[in-house]
């Protein structure tokens, strides 16, 4: 998200989180993002950013959660200590993993104690937003209890597919590029239709 009117319109939908990308190589970089009022929890998306940069964005835009990509376990530990010293000890962290056919689920063990959620996205040269899907059936190999976000080219026709996966740890669905008019501008009607359909099924948590 980036444009004020679009943020307000999307905030009227029954959603829980709204993402703001603070990674300058992304076409969705929120460089012009204004601190528009919204009752939705704001998630700041970062890729190996400096701790001071992250803290400044938390303060400036009232971020309530962080999404991290290629950061190592040690880097996340260090960030948590830094945030704690600056009054943000309880800041939840989502750790992204790029999934391909040879994805090693054992690597998750190094992150399970230092993050709140995982996010599984499609493995590509870029850090998300590719519009490409990975084989979601690979997630049946996931046996940890930590809840996760599902991302990676999810589109309006995927409701039944997602529900039929029956993944008990699936916590949230990340809707991005397939619901855009252009980068960082969401199609509100398309989002509304998808959300309405998927919330009718009790197998997906609200």
In the CATH scheme, what is the homologous superfamily, with its name and number, of domain 4-199? Aldolase class I (3.20.20.70)
Residues 76-92 pLDDT 10s: 999 999 999 999 999 99
**Can you tell me the distance from the alpha carbon of 146 to that of 5, in angstroms, rounded to the nearest whole number?**
35
The pTM for the full model equals 0.93
120 in helix, strand or coil? Answer: strand
Taking alpha carbons only, the member of 70, 60, 117 closest to residue 93 is 117
* Average pLDDT for the chain: 92
SS3 content of the chain, % helix, strand, coil (to 5): 35, 20, 45
44 close to 63: Cβ distance less than 8 angstroms: yes
DSSP label at 200?
Answer: T
Instruction: Inform me whether the pLDDT recorded for 36 exceeds 80.
Output: no
Instruction: Inform me whether the pLDDT recorded for 98 exceeds 90.
Output: yes
User: ∠99-102-107 over CA atoms, to 5°?
Assistant: 70
151 close to 120: Cβ distance less than 8 angstroms: yes
**Can you tell me the distance from the alpha carbon of 124 to that of 130, in angstroms, rounded to the nearest whole number?**
7
Instruction: Inform me whether the pLDDT recorded for 153 exceeds 50.
Output: yes
The residue assigned the tokens 């709204």 is: 18
């Amino acid at each position: 998200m980036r444009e004020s009117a679009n943020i307000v319109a999307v905030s009227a939908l029954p959603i829980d989180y709204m993402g703001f990308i603070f990674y300058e190589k992304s076409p969705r970089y929120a460089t012009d993002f204004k601190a528009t009022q919204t009752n939705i929890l704001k998630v700041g998306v970062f890729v190996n950013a400096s701790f001071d940069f992250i803290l400044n964005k938390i303060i400036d835009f009232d971020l309530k959660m962080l999404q991290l990509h290629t950061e190592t376990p040690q880097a996340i530990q260090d960030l948590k200590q830094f945030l704690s010293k600056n009054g943000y000890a309880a800041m939840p962290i989502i750790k992204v993993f790029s999934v391909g056919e040879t994805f090693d689920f054992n690597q998750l063990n190094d992150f399970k104690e230092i993050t709140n959620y995982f996010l599984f996205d499609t493995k590509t040269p870029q850090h998300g937003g590719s519009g490409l899907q990975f084989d979601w059936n690979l997630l049946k190999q996931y046996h940890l209890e930590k809840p996760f976000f599902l991302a990676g080219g999810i589109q309006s026709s995927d409701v039944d597919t997602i529900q039929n996966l029956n993944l008990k740890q699936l916590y949230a669905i990340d809707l991005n590029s397939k619901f855009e008019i252009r980068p960082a501008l969401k199609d509100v009607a398309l989002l509304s239709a998808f959300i309405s359909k998927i919330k009718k099924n009790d197998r997906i948590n609200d």
